[in-house]
Structure 1
Amino acid sequence: MSLMIVGSSVAGVSTARHLRAAGFDEPITMIGEERHKPYDKPPLTKAMLAADGDGAPTSLVSDEDLARFAIDLRLGTRATALDPVRRLVTFNAGPEIGYEHLVIATGVTPRRLPGMDGLAGVHTIRTADDAFDLRSELVREPSVVVIGAGFIGAEFAAAAHLHGCQVSVVEAQNTPMANIVGDEVGSLLSNLHAVHGVHLITGATVSRFEGQDRVTAVVLEDGRTIPADLVVVGIGAAPATDWLATSGLPIANGVECDDQLRVVGFPGIYAAGDVACRPHPHYDGSVRIEHWTSATEHGEVVAASIMQQPIRPPAIPYVWSDQYGHRIQIIGRPSAGTLATLSGDACNRLAAFYGDASGVLVGAVVVDDPRLMLRSRKAIASRAPVNDLTA
């Protein structure tokens, strides 16, 4: 009863750990597209870029773990096709491999902009090698333009600022993260850039890059030109499902699963992590959540599903971001409600709570207050009235 995990990040490693803990004693093969052993992704825009750090990735498993869990880890290997009828996965090199159980944990792929391919100095951040390259670039204190003011872009802007770089951030929305936390809270959070001397340009989109072999400037649609010799594109990501195009699996916003992360109609196939779209009891329909905590939880769910063990209800979504010495935490889904109460600001323990039409707490944004974050998470899980929670 062999098991294959395609993807070697948090969801894949969590699946393997929980399977072994549950007594699964059959062979486990883990496929990793990168050259590195499994490592944690959040530090890519945090600790790995810090001026006072060593830049090393944070390992998820040691050599001893791999031996103890009897995981056959195959690095530098990319899945290119799936045949669910014959239960075979095809790769960029080497023979096809069969499976009894398959866990799809390929994550997401950063979105790119036209003209960036082949132009030196224009980067995305998704892998350890991306972080290595950017860290080496930051040492020379270049002029930096960040495209996108979500968490990835904002964290890189903060890291570049700490390296002594001149930084501009270009954001398509009039208010960064307004689609997630609303205009008022988004404005307060984005003020962190101004406080630290980072130039924020909102309501602007990129027309093209200038430069022959290396980028020299970013040109906006309104004609403005921003000099740059380092550009980071952080405009979101798409589920990494290209290799499943001919498989027949249900794919829309990621791989569609049931509440046990099983791909319905395809026995023995599961999805986990950023690539999985799953029903959630707190929200209408299925949701795909690109959060570290969800990826970890998914590994536990898949393992329990395979081992036919009880499965805990989904946890409340949670994500955090470290920017300019502050920790921003988003709990639940603020976009599922409207802002009910607000106190503080991004530099002074901001707390924002969101309620739905019936007054139930559905989301919160908390800055630098871990206890309030935990209270918020419990209150959202219990469907408490939004007015019950105060900073």
Structure 2
Amino acid sequence: MSEQTREEGRSPVRRVVVVGAGMAGVQTAVALREQGYRGTVTLIGAEPHQPYDRPPLSKAVLLGKAEGSAFDVDFESLDIEIRLGSEALGVRPADHELDTETGPVPYDVLVLATGAEPIRLPGAEGVPGVHLLRTLDDAERLRPVLARQHDIVVVGAGWIGAEFATAAREAGCAVTVVEAADRPLAGALPAEVAAPMTAWYADSGTELRTHTRVERVEPGAVVLDDGSRLPADAVVVGIGARPATAWLAGSGIELGTHGEVVADAQLRTSVPDVYAVGDCASFPSGRYGERLLVHHWDNALQGPRTVAANILGGATCEPPAVYDPVPYFWSEQFGRFVQYAGHHAVADRMVWRGDRSGPAWTVCWLREDRLVALLAVGRPRDLAQGRRLIEAARPMNPEALADPSRPLKDATA
């Protein structure tokens, strides 16, 4: 290593550009500084707001309990340049340049952290009263809707639909949730796990209509596929999200079947000097033996450390850092704290802990008697211990695991 490299803190002077100013982008910039990077770091965000955290948008910000959720990061003291209100338009890898609304930005290393964007309801764009909930501006537009206690129709009974319905009921709104599938969270959980959650809607005073599709949205009403009409002062669409990567078309950066950036185990893309992290990227998991696309906050928090380590490691010839986390997320809905860790799709057995009709229960997924995933409702200790057991790949005793009075850590084989 040259003397200049040592003086610059393990890496030569170079330019790292991070596109996307959400959790993944901000944490990448911070991790670079924390790991000793001394070169130029530029963070580019499409929104005009100071970088902010998203989970409070469907809770405190939406209900007027907080004015915003800006990250507690002193960008100036970290010498991180921020360019806000500058949407990324494309990448020219051969020229090492990022094209933005405000002009081209040269880079030596580029990090893609543009997250995901909500899927829009076909035919509803431009109809007054139709809302999404992804950005700070979305939450600010919805706050007065909740404050006026309007009749609200939520399209989609996924995680965001349930969280928004929870907030709307807390605000005193009449809420109807319309779901095309036969149950809530149909795309995320098996039927037997999602089934107990159906009752949560009725218990909260929320009407849930399954097997129901929206035919069209009109001002003041939602027309369903059976011809019935629901009064709706506002319609909130929560039918999923897709990686925000359309702007990468023609760049040569490989995209997957869901439009995500295809990253390797070091979070490198298919072109040199470009990394991808967070909701916009998939990665191969050695732990689970398949490629994962994780649209959750913890992934955006953890991945940047691997990206930063590999950017610095490339300059110091250190072994590359591998990203293979136990995915984790949480959701607050209808008075319940729901936590999930792992990846249940690879499991060959399911074990219940506790009465699923009660306020607290856990379901565990095993593969060859090793814990690979769990979902805990009102049992945070199960989640904390289970996450460690998944990471350790410890064999479990299924009979002991089924005893809700026994700590998970004591149910090993």
| Shared fold (TM-score, shorter chain, > 0.5) | yes
Among 372, 377, 380, the alignment partner of 1:370 is 380
Aligned CA RMSD, in angstroms, stands at: 1.6
Is the aligned partner of 1:179 residue 2:187?
yes
Q: Is the 8 A contact 1:279 1:285 kept in 2?
A: yes
After superposition, the C-alpha distances for 1:131-169 in whole angstroms (9 at most, x for unaligned) are: 111112111111000011111000000000011000000
- Name 2:77's counterpart in structure 1: 68
- Name 2:53's counterpart in structure 1: 40
Q: 1:171 to 1:336 in 2, by over 3 A?
A: farther
Q: Is the 8 A contact 2:253 2:261 kept in 1?
A: yes
**CA positional deviation for 1:324:** 2.4
Q: 1:128 to 1:346 in 2, by over 3 A?
A: farther
The alignment partner of 2:94 has SS state of coil
- Name 1:255's counterpart in structure 2: 261
The alignment partner of 2:300 has SS state of helix
Is the aligned partner of 1:123 residue 2:123?
no
- Name 2:364's counterpart in structure 1: 353
**CA positional deviation for 1:346:** 6.5
Q: 1:346 to 1:268 in 2, by over 3 A?
A: farther
Provide the C-alpha distance between the structure 2 equivalents of 1:15 and 1:295, rounded to a whole number of angstroms.
Answer: 9
After superposition, the C-alpha distances for 1:168-204 in whole angstroms (9 at most, x for unaligned) are: 0011110111332211220112321110110000111
Among 347, 355, 369, the alignment partner of 1:344 is 355
Q: Is the 8 A contact 1:45 1:131 kept in 2?
A: yes
Provide the C-alpha distance between the structure 1 equivalents of 2:252 and 2:127, rounded to a whole number of angstroms.
Answer: 36
- Name 1:316's counterpart in structure 2: 326
Provide the C-alpha distance between the structure 2 equivalents of 1:9 and 1:279, rounded to a whole number of angstroms.
Answer: 23
Is the aligned partner of 1:291 residue 2:296?
yes
Q: TM-score, normalised by structure 1?
A: 0.93
Provide the C-alpha distance between the structure 2 equivalents of 1:189 and 1:336, rounded to a whole number of angstroms.
Answer: 23
Provide the C-alpha distance between the structure 1 equivalents of 2:272 and 2:239, rounded to a whole number of angstroms.
Answer: 35
Is the aligned partner of 1:157 residue 2:165?
yes
Q: Is the 8 A contact 1:331 1:373 kept in 2?
A: yes
What residue identity is the alignment partner of 1:155?
A: E
Q: Is the 8 A contact 1:336 1:363 kept in 2?
A: no
The alignment partner of 1:40 has SS state of coil
Q: Which residues in structure 2 correspond to 1:80-119 (within 5 Å)?
A: 80-92=89-101, 94-119=102-127
Q: Is the 8 A contact 2:266 2:322 kept in 1?
A: no
What residue identity is the alignment partner of 2:335?
A: G
Provide the C-alpha distance between the structure 1 equivalents of 2:32 and 2:357, rounded to a whole number of angstroms.
Answer: 41
Among 239, 242, 264, the alignment partner of 1:238 is 242
Q: Which has the higher contact order (CA 8 A, sep 6+)?
A: 1
Provide the C-alpha distance between the structure 1 equivalents of 2:162 and 2:47, rounded to a whole number of angstroms.
Answer: 25
Is the aligned partner of 1:270 residue 2:275?
yes
Structure 2: 5+ residue stretches without partners: 1-13, 405-413
Provide the C-alpha distance between the structure 2 equivalents of 1:278 and 1:8, rounded to a whole number of angstroms.
Answer: 21
The alignment partner of 1:72 has SS state of strand
Q: 1:132 to 1:185 in 2, by over 3 A?
A: same
Provide the C-alpha distance between the structure 2 equivalents of 1:342 and 1:183, rounded to a whole number of angstroms.
Answer: 17
**CA positional deviation for 1:46:** 1.7
Provide the C-alpha distance between the structure 1 equivalents of 2:280 and 2:364, rounded to a whole number of angstroms.
Answer: 28
The alignment partner of 1:102 has SS state of strand
What residue identity is the alignment partner of 1:371?
A: R
Among 361, 367, 380, the alignment partner of 2:390 is 380
- Name 2:340's counterpart in structure 1: 330
Identical residues among aligned pairs (%): 39
**CA positional deviation for 1:313:** 5.0
Provide the C-alpha distance between the structure 2 equivalents of 1:189 and 1:261, rounded to a whole number of angstroms.
Answer: 35
**CA positional deviation for 1:35:** 1.1
Provide the C-alpha distance between the structure 2 equivalents of 1:45 and 1:303, rounded to a whole number of angstroms.
Answer: 30
After superposition, the C-alpha distances for 1:214-265 in whole angstroms (9 at most, x for unaligned) are: xx1111112222111111100111111111001011001310111110113x
Structure 1: 5+ residue stretches without partners: none
Provide the C-alpha distance between the structure 1 equivalents of 2:41 and 2:159, rounded to a whole number of angstroms.
Answer: 34
The alignment partner of 1:85 has SS state of helix
Provide the C-alpha distance between the structure 1 equivalents of 2:80 and 2:224, rounded to a whole number of angstroms.
Answer: 48
Q: Is the 8 A contact 2:306 2:323 kept in 1?
A: no
Q: Is the 8 A contact 1:82 1:90 kept in 2?
A: yes
Is the aligned partner of 1:300 residue 2:305?
yes
The alignment partner of 2:141 has SS state of helix
Provide the C-alpha distance between the structure 2 equivalents of 1:346 and 1:136, rounded to a whole number of angstroms.
Answer: 35
Provide the C-alpha distance between the structure 1 equivalents of 2:22 and 2:173, rounded to a whole number of angstroms.
Answer: 31
What residue identity is the alignment partner of 1:80?
A: L
What residue identity is the alignment partner of 2:99?
A: T
